[in-house]
Amino acid sequence: MERPVPGGLPGEKEEERVLVSEKSWRPCPKARRRLRGCLERVKQQLFRVGEDWYFLFILGVLMATISFVMDLLVVRLYEAHRWLYQEVGDILVLKYLSWTMYPMALAAFSTGFSQSITPYSGGEGTPKIWIPPPPGSGIPELKTILTGVVLEDYLAIQNFGAKVVGLTCTLASGSTVFLGKVGPFVHLSAMAAAYLGKMRTSVTREYENKFKQNEMLVAAQAVGVATVFGAPISGVLFSIEVMASHFAVRDYWRGFFAATCGAFVFRLLAVFNSEQDTIAAVFKSDLKIDFPFDLLETFFFAILGAVCGLVGCAYLFCQRWLLAAVKENRLTAKLLATDKPVYTVLVVLLLASITFPPGLGQLMASRLTMKEYLTSLFDNRTWGVLVPNASSVAKPPGVDPQGLWQEWYHPSATIFGTLAFFLLMKFWMLILATTLPLPAGYFMPIFIYGATIGRLLGETVALLFPRGLRSEGDPHHIIPGGYALAGAAAFSGSVTHAISTALLVCEATGHLGHVLPVVLAVLVANAITQKHQPSFYDGTIIVKKLPYLPRIRSRHMASYQVVVEEFMERQVVALAKGGGFEEVLVALDASVNAEYPVVERSPTLVGTVSRAQLVAFLQSHKGRGRGGFVPTHPHCHLPKAHHLFELLKLQRIFVTRFGELVGAVSRVEVRGGGRTRGSQRGG
Amino acid sequence: MERPVPGGLPGEKEEERVLVSEKSWRPCPKARRRLRGCLERVKQQLFRVGEDWYFLFILGVLMATISFVMDLLVVRLYEAHRWLYQEVGDILVLKYLSWTMYPMALAAFSTGFSQSITPYSGGEGTPKIWIPPPPGSGIPELKTILTGVVLEDYLAIQNFGAKVVGLTCTLASGSTVFLGKVGPFVHLSAMAAAYLGKMRTSVTREYENKFKQNEMLVAAQAVGVATVFGAPISGVLFSIEVMASHFAVRDYWRGFFAATCGAFVFRLLAVFNSEQDTIAAVFKSDLKIDFPFDLLETFFFAILGAVCGLVGCAYLFCQRWLLAAVKENRLTAKLLATDKPVYTVLVVLLLASITFPPGLGQLMASRLTMKEYLTSLFDNRTWGVLVPNASSVAKPPGVDPQGLWQEWYHPSATIFGTLAFFLLMKFWMLILATTLPLPAGYFMPIFIYGATIGRLLGETVALLFPRGLRSEGDPHHIIPGGYALAGAAAFSGSVTHAISTALLVCEATGHLGHVLPVVLAVLVANAITQKHQPSFYDGTIIVKKLPYLPRIRSRHMASYQVVVEEFMERQVVALAKGGGFEEVLVALDASVNAEYPVVERSPTLVGTVSRAQLVAFLQSHKGRGRGGFVPTHPHCHLPKAHHLFELLKLQRIFVTRFGELVGAVSRVEVRGGGRTRGSQRGG
């Protein structure tokens, strides 16, 4: 400290300095000193590689590049399908085969590929709480990890490649399967973060610690969302809302930085690839900003929110029901256990048959890609007053962005019929698609579904009030595109129990004019869904039976009257402080907890010791108890106990009365205690 | 539970039901039952009044109305000043007097009025940790309250009126004093929330609890920011970033709801008042969205961020220095202690003399109001290429919004000269203004200052590259307005250590096209300032010596090596479990802590008891110790101890080794422990 090395940081360079000064008897002191300074600076730079900012930057850039390349590949694959479908000519059977076989093959490959890799990665290492299946979005599992449960393998880098390839195939099957990319991308991002974290600790020789790991996971999730939508701010917010119950403002900083890097590079690549002239919103909309909506329209936006909330409830209920039904049904359960690709093929065949364009597909605009769905629904024109151009109907979509809406037009059903039919059919088709055992995200389809609800309601309002809502003054036409924005945000928000979808929709379209009605619709929808259904991710956690602590849904007085004493486990296997080999063996046999209380003079709790430590003790005949435990009191009320679990990410708390061990509470009991009396009112 | 009353909620209605069934021997059971149902329903509605949503709605609407009415009043007062200045004719002395006297009178009144009320509200009740002075923004004190320190009087409703009147006067003195409204409004909102909370507990007879209070305060802060800028999303985010170190996603929901209500009503009132045609952004800008910026411009945005960061550092340093200097200087200290209005008058006289339009003021566009400053700086045109219209220069500003920029034009200095001069002068004038003892916010001036930095840099870039940055293709003109946006966000973000200013600038202007470069600039500016200076609010906390726990600035390994043992207080005054009257008296005499450890068999910690309980015991000869304490272990490392303090909002932790009390740690020690070794690298 007294002799600071130029440019050197105190503390961590001390060792180097000692080594250097030992060699100071050698000649050419000046040149040596200069060289030493150089080396010092280089070393410093190397050390800085371990710093968070570099790491977050790399993470953001990496995920943005993967996201962009994946998008490119998916577009190519999708174009190939379109070309194939166009080229087979007018023979209906060939057309049907080319329409159905392509997504079937891709989905089956996706299922099989991700299937073939996982057992390897699941086979190594120590015993785990639960080995997760690779398919699905991955967000429920991440949410569980963030509450402090260890699902180590879930972030193993070995799954990375399989998930990337599987997801690409899923996305390439396009709007037939109607699945998205957000969930798996968040998972991929978390995997990358975990891997980079391990690499970093090996470079900097810092000991890995839980704090840092968690910080990085939170940032990784933000990167995942941000690189899909190119939306840094809402990426951070959405990931926080969906994943965490509490978070540190410090983490928010990190998430922001990483997500901005990711979103920036993601959009930058689009510019380099000449897709865009400059950095702009991903789903750029041209809604007019001068007069986005009339004040009276807020009423319709609130109705839209209520409709989205109710449909959200129905969707969540049916989705949970089907997930359970598929598991219980003997046929599907058997298929899913042994022949996952067969199940995939059957489901995709059904979905593709329904969306076949010459059949029912013409009523569902099924020739559009996922991105085209959104672009068309956010169109700034009112479809009800447009006249379709007959010549361009025959053309494939995607050639003329202004003509995309014509895909929604059907001579006999009009756009109202097709929009309604789309909503009706996609409701169960989407739910069916979520049972597919392949890596896929469920946010994007929900987003599109919500936009369709909004567009239908908006077109209806525009039809009812062709001159706007005001009788006097200039007519202000109603913009159904604004309703589509609000619908997308409200429905996706209600299903995921998130409010930041309101911002997401703004950032993704680059349009802020509708922000207040959008927020209104999202709040109404959320108020309805949060009261009646768990969120999509919580629902999956429930169905998958992951060890997760749900929030106390009612903060009402009743829950403050429930005290720990009422629901704690009273038969706790404890170790005496001076206990020997045999006693430890008996305790290990008697229960399988991760941590054991250590008591003195029978009931006084003096510390805890982990199972791993006890096992080590049995093997080596030496061990040391830990004292850094957090006990609680039998009269601690339920919300406080819940708070302790949530904030300190605990798995088990010992209950002491004046130092004496009287019981223990684990997450199971907290959930149970909440159920017996606390959450009765919360429904 | 077995016989649910129709429409009744279980649990809380139990008492009523018992009362009702006692009277069931009376006649007319059917009519009575119907009446009873009606009463039940009415009662239920009354009970629902106590629910959070109603409460948050009321809070939002109330604050929005106050904010709007205050804005109206301020505009009227300002117009009166302008009219007066215009009407006195061309006599320079009269002009000077009318220019300087008006803000002097208003500021002196503001100082005196808020001064005359406070002693009353400070005089009642129990002893407090610290009696806060009424002037200033109030955010540092709120921040302290949120970490669990009790500053009860600070939220007393008695100060509400004084602060509203004082703030109105401060704002009406306009751009001469150059102060804003955000900080005091957040404070007002928190006062209203605390008062409404007390009213609610008296209506619902629920016992008031800390959880709920905190939740409401967080929501109130969001309302405060949202109703000033009409920006719900960034209101929530900014208040979180500035106030809290950790927050629950549940709180975020509440904040969102209340802020949306507030922002909605705030903008709605503007529509009703015929200021606006429909709900739109507060500082609506017309920056073009098709091609907001060239990719190569991101380089200049990064430079802008760096400039803002450096100026932010200088500003924070000088501001802290001046605050301390004013307190230490004998003359100013005496004035501030006894004759606050005199100090105010002197400072405002100086400020007003400098901004006198025929004098130096013409080089600083001093005739503009705060809002006009922002509107003009966010102008979508490039000032450098505009030719001023001589006829409109003489007119007062505010008549023609397109001509506002001409205020910045000076024939001999050009706009570059005036912008630079404005930056130079306002730097110290703003710092001087922050020492004024009147209720005022410091965010808005910082925001405008940042916008000016951005505008100057943007105009310079536009001058250097008149055809845009690309040599080939269509020329894309550079939009200096975009730089002004980025500058405002970056400078205000760097001074407050917040990132959400990036979103705030977008929401306030309704323009999202520049979001990525704005975020980039904010991140660069924050990276610089956070490394070298505490934030504006933390700086004030340091100067005011509030009991606040700063964050550990470095998460580096060094801080993990510091353990509690090294910095804990070893001489803890403890009570024996069976201790009597005298022992308690001795303990109470020996230290003034809020909580005492209770030990058994000398060192084993068995519980804690609060000072208040002990005093009650001495008075009534009966008392009960509490056991719901969180002890820690001597080998607990510094970040974990910090985490415990931060998350559980603790004031003191007892340190036990295997149950035996060995010491205690309070916030002071954590701060000290951090200083000795932990934050060496972070500093």
Can you give the pLDDT at residue B367?
Answer: 86
Can you give the pLDDT at residue A280?
Answer: 66
Of A267-271, B168-172, B489-493, give the range with the top mean pLDDT: B489-493
B191-233 confidence digits (pLDDT tens): 899 888 887 777 655 555 666 777 788 888 889 888 888 888 8
Name chain A contacts of B245, Cβ cutoff 8 Å: 248-250
Average pLDDT over residues A551-576: 62
Mean pLDDT, chain B, rounded, equals 77
Within a 10 A sphere around the Cβ of A464, how many other Cβ atoms? 10
Q: Where are the alpha helices (DSSP H) in A50-91?
A: 52-87
Can you give the pLDDT at residue A204?
Answer: 59
Can you give the pLDDT at residue B213?
Answer: 75
Best mutation target among B210, B234, B256 (most A Cβ atoms within 10 Å) is B256
As a whole number of angstroms, the distance between CA B444 and CA B504 comes to 12
The verdict on a CB contact (< 8 Å) between B292 and A271 is no
The verdict on a CB contact (< 8 Å) between A659 and B600 is yes
Q: Looking at the partner chain, which of A52, A206, A633 has a beta carbon nearest the beta carbon of B627?
A: A633
Q: Is the pLDDT of residue A555 over 60?
A: no
Name chain B contacts of A628, Cβ cutoff 8 Å: 632-633, 635-636, 640
Give the tokens for residue A468: 């706007």
Q: Where are the alpha helices (DSSP H) in A330-479?
A: 330-338, 340-355, 370-377, 390-393, 414-433, 443-464
Structure letter (DSSP) for residue B626: B
Is residue B513 within 8 A of residue B292, CB to CB? The reply is: yes
Can you give the pLDDT at residue B106?
Answer: 92
CATH T-level fold of A297-526: Clc chloride channel (1.10.3080)
Can you give the pLDDT at residue A595?
Answer: 66
Can you give the pLDDT at residue B351?
Answer: 93
Burial (CB count <10 Å: 0-12, 13-18, 19+), residue A125: exposed
What are B595's strand-pairing partners?
B610
Higher-confidence residue of A420 and A633: namely A420
Can you give the pLDDT at residue A199?
Answer: 79
Q: Is the pLDDT of residue A679 over 70?
A: no
B521 reaches A (C-beta below 8 A):
no
Q: Which CATH architecture has domain B557-678?
A: Roll (3.10)
Is residue B247 within 8 A of residue B646, CB to CB? The reply is: no
Flag the least confident range among A178-192, B26-40, B50-64, B518-532: B26-40
The verdict on a CB contact (< 8 Å) between B656 and A627 is yes
Largest CA distance in chain B: 96
Q: Is the pLDDT of residue B14 over 50?
A: no
Average pLDDT over residues B596-600: 68
Can you give the pLDDT at residue A271?
Answer: 82
Q: Is the pLDDT of residue B578 over 70?
A: no
Can you give the pLDDT at residue B398?
Answer: 55
The verdict on a CB contact (< 8 Å) between A512 and B240 is no
Q: Which CATH class is domain B295-336+371-544?
A: mainly alpha
The verdict on a CB contact (< 8 Å) between B295 and A279 is yes
The verdict on a CB contact (< 8 Å) between B295 and A247 is no
* pLDDT interval class at A579 (50, 70, 90): low
With a pLDDT cut of 90, the percent of chain A lying above it is: 20
Q: Which helix (H) or strand (E) holds A654?
A: strand A652-657
A140, A439, A544, B47 from A163: Cα distances, Å: 16, 6, 20, 52
How far A677 CA lies from chain B's nearest CA (Å)? 9
Structure letter (DSSP) for residue A373: H
- CATH of the structural domain A54-272, one choice from 3.20.20.80, 3.40.50.920, 2.60.120.480, 1.10.3080.10: 1.10.3080.10
Is residue A343 within 8 A of residue A336, CB to CB? The reply is: yes
A291 reaches B (C-beta below 8 A):
yes
Within a 10 A sphere around the Cβ of A413, how many other Cβ atoms? 15
The verdict on a CB contact (< 8 Å) between A267 and B516 is yes
Can you give the pLDDT at residue A366?
Answer: 87
How far A35 CA lies from chain B's nearest CA (Å)? 25
Best mutation target among B218, B246, B512 (most A Cβ atoms within 10 Å) is B512
The verdict on a CB contact (< 8 Å) between B295 and A289 is no
Q: Which CATH architecture has domain B53-272?
A: Orthogonal Bundle (1.10)
Residue pairs between chains A and B whose CB atoms are closer than 8 Å: 217
Can you give the pLDDT at residue B492?
Answer: 95
As a whole number of angstroms, the distance between CA B124 and CA B156 comes to 11
Q: Is the pLDDT of residue B25 over 80?
A: no
Burial (CB count <10 Å: 0-12, 13-18, 19+), residue B290: exposed
Q: Where are the alpha helices (DSSP H) in A497-570?
A: 501-509, 515-532, 536-544, 557-561, 564-567
Can you give the pLDDT at residue A651?
Answer: 66
B614-623 confidence digits (pLDDT tens): 666 656 554 4
Name chain A contacts of B10, Cβ cutoff 8 Å: 680-681
* pLDDT interval class at A206 (50, 70, 90): low
* pLDDT interval class at A9 (50, 70, 90): very low
* pLDDT interval class at A341 (50, 70, 90): confident
The verdict on a CB contact (< 8 Å) between B291 and A277 is yes
Q: Is the pLDDT of residue B375 over 70?
A: yes
Higher-confidence residue of B66 and A217: namely B66
Higher-confidence residue of A305 and B683: namely A305
Can you give the pLDDT at residue B134?
Answer: 47
Is residue B345 within 8 A of residue B108, CB to CB? The reply is: yes
Q: Domain residue spans in chain A?
A: 14-49, 54-272, 297-526, 557-678
Name chain B contacts of A600, Cβ cutoff 8 Å: 658-659
Under the phi-then-psi rule, with left for phi > 0, alpha for psi from -120 to 50, and beta for the rest, what region is A554?
A: beta
* pLDDT interval class at B631 (50, 70, 90): low
Higher-confidence residue of A343 and B584: namely A343
Flag the least confident range among A192-201, B6-15, B517-526: B6-15
Mean pLDDT, chain A, rounded, equals 77
CA B363-B364-B368 angle, 5° bins: 130
Q: How is A567-588 classified by DSSP, letter by letter?
A: H-B-----EETT--HHHHHHHH
A377-390 confidence digits (pLDDT tens): 988 888 888 776 65
Name chain B contacts of A12, Cβ cutoff 8 Å: 557-558, 681
Largest CA distance in chain A: 96
With a pLDDT cut of 90, the percent of chain B lying above it is: 20
Flag the least confident range among A267-276, B382-391, B594-603: B594-603
Q: Is the pLDDT of residue A4 over 70?
A: no
As a whole number of angstroms, the distance between CA A239 and CA A318 comes to 25
The verdict on a CB contact (< 8 Å) between A241 and B257 is no
As a whole number of angstroms, the distance between CA A273 and CA B259 comes to 41
Q: Give the ipTM.
A: 0.77
A453 reaches B (C-beta below 8 A):
no
The verdict on a CB contact (< 8 Å) between A289 and B510 is yes
As a whole number of angstroms, the distance between CA A152 and CA A226 comes to 25
B230, B286, B388, B400 from B375: Cα distances, Å: 15, 10, 18, 12
Q: Which helix (H) or strand (E) holds A597?
A: strand A595-600
With a pLDDT cut of 70, the percent of chain B lying above it is: 66
Give the tokens for residue A389: 């151009």
With the CA atoms of B290, B296, B300 and B303 taken in that order, what torsion angle do they form, in degrees rounded to the nearest 10? 130
Q: Is the pLDDT of residue A499 over 50?
A: yes
Can you give the pLDDT at residue B335?
Answer: 86
Higher-confidence residue of A474 and B431: namely B431
As a whole number of angstroms, the distance between CA B422 and CA B44 comes to 60
* pLDDT interval class at B580 (50, 70, 90): low
Higher-confidence residue of B391 and B354: namely B354
Q: Looking at the partner chain, which of A209, A293, A527 has a beta carbon nearest the beta carbon of B278?
A: A293
Can you give the pLDDT at residue A211?
Answer: 64
Per-window interface: B 51-110 vs A, CB < 8 A: 52-53
Q: Is the pLDDT of residue A498 over 60?
A: yes
Average pLDDT over residues B387-409: 66
B25 reaches A (C-beta below 8 A):
no
Flag the least confident range among A525-534, B112-121, B650-659: B112-121
Higher-confidence residue of B324 and B50: namely B324
Q: Is the pLDDT of residue A114 over 80?
A: no
Flag the least confident range among A17-21, A101-105, B174-178: A17-21
Q: Do the domains spanning A54-272 and A297-526 agree at the CATH topology level?
A: yes
Q: Is the pLDDT of residue A228 over 90?
A: no
Is residue B653 within 8 A of residue B664, CB to CB? The reply is: yes
Average pLDDT over residues B488-494: 95
Q: Looking at the partner chain, which of A503, A512, A636 has a beta carbon nearest the beta carbon of B511?
A: A512
Q: Is the pLDDT of residue B429 over 90?
A: yes
Per-window interface: B 162-181 vs A, CB < 8 A: none
Average pLDDT over residues B7-28: 48
Average pLDDT over residues A149-169: 82
3-state secondary structure A263-283: HHHHHHHHHHCCCCCCCCCCC
The verdict on a CB contact (< 8 Å) between B256 and A281 is no
B443-466 confidence digits (pLDDT tens): 999 999 999 999 999 999 999 988
A52-88 confidence digits (pLDDT tens): 778 888 899 999 999 999 999 998 998 899 898 888 8
Can you give the pLDDT at residue A459?
Answer: 93
Among chain A residues, CA nearest to B518: A260
Please identify which residue in the block is written with the tokens 């200021």.
B275
Can you give the pLDDT at residue B593?
Answer: 65
Q: Is the pLDDT of residue B107 over 80?
A: yes
Nearest to B244 by CA among B495, B440, B540, B537: B537
With the CA atoms of A502, A507, A509 and A514 taken in that order, what torsion angle do they form, in degrees rounded to the nearest 10? 50
Flag the least confident range among A21-35, A358-372, B458-472, B515-529: A21-35
Q: Is the pLDDT of residue B154 over 90?
A: no
B13 reaches A (C-beta below 8 A):
no
Per-window interface: A 621-680 vs B, CB < 8 A: 625-636, 639-640, 643-644, 647-648, 656-659, 680
Can you give the pLDDT at residue A19?
Answer: 45
As a whole number of angstroms, the distance between CA A75 and CA A71 comes to 6
How far A659 CA lies from chain B's nearest CA (Å)? 5
B551 reaches A (C-beta below 8 A):
yes
The verdict on a CB contact (< 8 Å) between B10 and A246 is no
pTM of model > 0.90? no
B511-543 confidence digits (pLDDT tens): 888 888 899 999 999 988 988 888 888 888 888
Nearest to B112 by CA among B332, B337, B340, B335: B340
A523 reaches B (C-beta below 8 A):
yes
